[in-house]
Amino acid sequence: MVAPSSSSGTPAWVPRKRRGTELVLTSMAVGIAIFAYVAVGLGARGTVPAGVFKLAAAVIVVAIATTIVVRRLAPYADPVLLPLVIALNGIGLAMIYRIDQDCPGFCLGGDYQPLANAQLMWTALGLVAFTVVLFVVNDHRMLQRFTYSAGLAAIVLLVLPLLPGIGQNIRGARIWINLGPFSFQPGEAAKICLAVFFAGYLVRHKDALALAGRRVLGVDLPRGRDLGPILAGWLISVGILVFQRDLGSSLLFFGLFVVMLYIATERPGWLVVGAVLFVSGSYFGYLAFGHVRARFDAWLDPFGNPDANGQLISSLYGLAHGGVLGRGLGQGSPELTPFSFSDFIVGALGEELGLTGLMAILLIYGLIVERGLRIALTCRDAFGKLLAAGLAVSFALQVFVVVGGVTRLIPLTGLTTPFLAQGGSSIVMNWAIMGLLLRISDQTRRPAPEISTVQSDEETQIVKLPAGGTA
């Protein structure tokens, strides 16, 4: 679509596609990934990894293909988001490849199998998911039609791991399902479904939620029937997660819920209610669940019980050993930290890339959130605003919870590190989220379709059909 040439005097805002910028940034991101891969080989083995050219060619082809997908399917989409995500994903892949160098025969009690190839495959699937989202959802507002279906889907996805047969209990949390050779964490997909459900529901009911109701203790409480379904949905998801013993996700869903409610109603009181509920919930969790108590105690004084908190301590040692400039890729000892390839990958990155590298990674995360919120701000429709803001804030929360946990800012909870950690469902679903954000962004930055600006008598004689959302 070509920018409209307005012949009249009104200097219309001409949105720029900025696909060239995206290409330049993407090639930088691809460069980071390839150099990181080479650096791992040089650091750990002293040689450039064999097959680096094949891999580089593959990565470049995939990156070009992805930019072409965006060019064709979402030409006005935000040009920064995709390169940021490619850079993160590339760094994550290089780090997992790096851990593959030292972990086999040592990690997981010697059961460790190299993970980089699987992760590469999941990344490819993630890009497929990204493309599919952009292709199928050609207008994000169509998702509003699936509000309740999304809610139902979220519940089903969350219940699945509890079902005998396909549900799987790994490391104390029942959040995996078995699909043939793969195990999948449906919680990641449930997060997207919940965001869609909350957005759709709140758009429809926000006025009722905000205006009708009574004021209790300075907080405007809505009527029960407006609140009922959403509270029920939330209770079910949180309940399931407590049964699944995955409090990280529980915290994340709750945060998503409160934040979207706040955006929709513009009432900060909801944040207060949320905070109170969260604190009392945490306290209840502390009293009721041994593993929550253990996590909390580990946070307050990890060195008091070095045997039980070896993982966190090792991560902190790794970070400290990395120092300001880091050990260099391939030259630290991330294999000493259990699960440094997944939950503790930030510790591994901090050790080898140093404070400098870790801050750069945090800034990339911050920029992704910033782009997401910018999309929400500029979006013209309420549903898109809510969805984009919900996805962006939940992304920020997830990064905060997992990075804060590993660096001992807050107690440790099990959440995946988006785009970096090993794990298929996380990477595929996060790519899908990026697809959604780019779709909303494309819709937002796209020039408004020209409608009924009467410019001359001649044009008034043409019967114009009202233009739809897509041009």
Partner 1 sequence: MNRPIRSLAVGCLVLFLALLVNVNYVQFVKADDLNDDTGNKRVINEQFSRNRGPILVAGRPVAESKKSSDQYKYQRVYPDKGLYAHVTGYFSYVFGRGALENSENQILSGSDNRLFVNRVVDLLSNKQPTGGSVELTLDPLAQKTAADGLAALGKDTKGAVAAINPQTGEILAMVNQPTYDPNQLASHDFTAVQKAWDKLTNDDDQPMLNRTTQQILPPGSTFKLVTAAAALENGVVDNASDKVKGGRSLSFPGVQYKLVNENGSSCGGDPITFGRALEVSCNVSFGSLAGKIGQDALDEQASKFGFGTDPLAGLPMNPSRFTTSDTQLENTQLAQSGIGQFEVAATPLQMAMVAGAIANEGEVMRPYVIKTVRSPNVRVLEKGEPQAFGRAMSRSNAAILRDMMVKVVERGTATSARINGVDVGGKTGTAQSTPDRPPYAWFVAFAPAKNPKVAVAVVVESSDTARDEIAGGRLAGPIARSVMEAVLGR
The footprint of partner 1 on this chain (CB under 8 A) covers a number of residues equal to 51
Q: In the complex, what is the shortest distance from the CB of residue 382 to partner 1, in angstroms, rounded to a whole number?
A: 6
Nearer to partner 1, 163 or 409 (CB): 409
Chosen residue from 96, 396, 429, 437 binding partner 1 by CB under 8 A: 396
257 binds partner 1 (CB under 8 A): no
Chosen residue from 60, 229, 317, 338 binding partner 1 by CB under 8 A: 317
Chosen residue from 18, 333, 338, 447 binding partner 1 by CB under 8 A: 333
219 binds partner 1 (CB under 8 A): no
Chosen residue from 156, 212, 320, 471 binding partner 1 by CB under 8 A: 320
277 binds partner 1 (CB under 8 A): no
Q: In the complex, what is the shortest distance from the CB of residue 128 to partner 1, in angstroms, rounded to a whole number?
A: 29
Stretches 161-169, 263-271, 291-299, 453-461: which one binds partner 1 (CB under 8 A)? 263-271
Stretches 99-107, 116-124, 234-242, 315-323: which one binds partner 1 (CB under 8 A)? 315-323
Nearer to partner 1, 100 or 352 (CB): 352
Nearer to partner 1, 147 or 309 (CB): 309
Nearer to partner 1, 115 or 399 (CB): 399
Stretches 94-102, 183-191, 289-297, 372-380: which one binds partner 1 (CB under 8 A)? 372-380
339 binds partner 1 (CB under 8 A): no
397 binds partner 1 (CB under 8 A): yes
321 binds partner 1 (CB under 8 A): yes
Nearer to partner 1, 229 or 404 (CB): 404
Chosen residue from 200, 354, 424, 435 binding partner 1 by CB under 8 A: 354
Residues 6+ apart with CB under 8 A from 111: none
Three-class SS of the chain = CCCCCCCCCCCCCCCCCCHHHHHHHHHHHHHHHHHHHHHHHHHHCCCCCCCHHHHHHHHHHHHHHHHHHHHHHCCCCCCCHHHHHHHHHHHHHHHHHHHHHHCCCCHHHHCCCCCHHHHHHHHHHHHHHHHHHHHHCCCHHHHHHHHHHHHHHHHHHHHHHHCCCCEEEECCEEEEEEECCEEECHHHHHHHHHHHHHHHHHHHHHHHHHHCCEEECCEEECCHHHHHHHHHHHHHHHHHHHHHCCHHHHHHHHHHHHHHHHHHHCCCHHHHHHHHHHHHHHHHHHHHCHHHHHHHHHHHCHHHCCCCCHHHHHHHHHHHHHCCCCCCCCCCCHHHCCCCCCCCHHHHHHHHHHHHHHHHHHHHHHHHHHHHHHHHHHCCCHHHHHHHHHHHHHHHHHHHHHHHHHCCCCCCCCCCCCCCCCCHHHHHHHHHHHHHHHHHHHHHHCCCCCCCCCCCHHHHCCCCCCCCCCC
409 binds partner 1 (CB under 8 A): yes
Q: In the complex, what is the shortest distance from the CB of residue 36 to partner 1, in angstroms, rounded to a whole number?
A: 18
Task: List residues binding partner 1 (CB under 8 A).
Answer: 259, 262-264, 266, 268, 303, 306, 314, 316-325, 332-333, 336, 350-351, 354-355, 358-359, 362, 365-366, 369-370, 373, 376-377, 382, 385-386, 389, 392-393, 396-397, 399-400, 403-404, 407-409
